[in-house]
Amino acid sequence: MSTTAPAHTQQRAFYPILPPFMLKHIARYGDLLEARSAKRTLTVDRQMRAARMEFMAHAHDTEMVAPQPSSARREGLRRTIYVFQPRARRKLPGKRVRTENSAPHEDTAVNEAFDGLGSAYRFFREVFGRYSVDDHDMPLMATVHYSSAYNNAFWNGEQMVFGDGDGQLFNSFTGCLEIIGHELTHGIVQYTAHLQYTLQAGAVHESICDVMGMLLKQWAHGQTAAQSDWLIGADLLTDQVQGVGLRSMRAPGTAFDDPKLGKDPQPGHMDDYKRTTLDSGGVHINSGIPNRAFYLAATGFGGFAWEQAGKIWYHTLQDKNLRPHYGFKRFARLTLQNAVALYGADSDAVKIVHEAWSQVGVLVESW
């Protein structure tokens, strides 16, 4: 059985969980070790982005066409975990250390990545009927201990990659199930809507990944919408940081306020929308607006968020009418159309979703 990604998925991508503006703040205000780790992470991330841009320049519209599924038949869950080998000629994926039939490893990060991929696979299969990233049981790969004190985790078009964090501001990135769900959802977007990664379309892209990552965490812990903390990266920050996570879907802009990390810049309403050239036009910033809309919809429904609100958002992600450039208003309209298709035009579901978008200033007159 092959443990490498099929050739047709090998396209350059780079979707990190930490935005560059946060790392730049740490590079400026952190202590010597923190600043060094942040600068190293920024350098690696910059190289990844440059490689992706070069690939796209030669591939033209390659990313606008979803890659083909990896197999005509479904073969079940297949996981492979690698450990990064810095001196190896081909640095990714690294040394293979655990596969589907292996016993647990002595390395905690290996086991966390392995278990997290398994939870994500089961979540998407059992809740949405999706079989892995490509819906045809594409093998799931992850590399742990990437680089040195690397403060990030990302999806690269083929696999997940996890850093260990610097140990002072950030813990290991394998310890957050919602981060695993978030990054794997970038792969699902790659095979479905292939949303652009800039401006409002990029913020929608990021928000969908936060939504699915949060639903995975809630599902794994059996939490209702009311019981959830609605925090992305809740276990990522160390106790030295004045913050509770990377992002709050309940209250965007309140996740952290720390001298070294800066202040959470996310808005929760269109009145506070940030127009910026940073972060690909604010994809990790303005995603707070659709994030809060989902939180409001999920709590409006009550119960388990994946059962109704999550179902509407997933169907919208799958909707063939979702175009790569769609921003908040067009995406919101599609969620309403899918709510109608799933529950009926006069249903409470439609009213709840419409009210959720209205409360964040995304006004949809008709759908």
Q: Is 284 a catalytic residue?
A: yes
Q: Which two tokens stand for residue 241?
A: 């940081």
CB-CB contact of 293 with 332 (8 Å): yes
Place of tokens 């998925």: 9
Q: Which two tokens stand for residue 215?
A: 């639903």
| Whether residue 20 has a cis bond before it, omega within 30° of 0 | no
Candidate list 183, 186, 194, 206, residue with the active-site label: 183
Q: Is 183 a catalytic residue?
A: yes
CA-based angle 306:310:312, to the nearest 5? 140
d(CA 282, CA 249): 16
The continuous run of DSSP H or E covering 160 comes out as strand 160-162
d(CA 162, CA 23): 16
358 closest CA partner among 315, 297, 301: 297
CB-CB contact of 99 with 168 (8 Å): no
| Integer CA distances (angstroms), 309 to 10, 81, 220, 277, 348, in order | 33, 32, 17, 32, 12
d(CA 216, CA 120): 7
Candidate list 145, 186, 194, 284, residue with the active-site label: 284
Q: Which residues are catalytic?
A: 183, 284
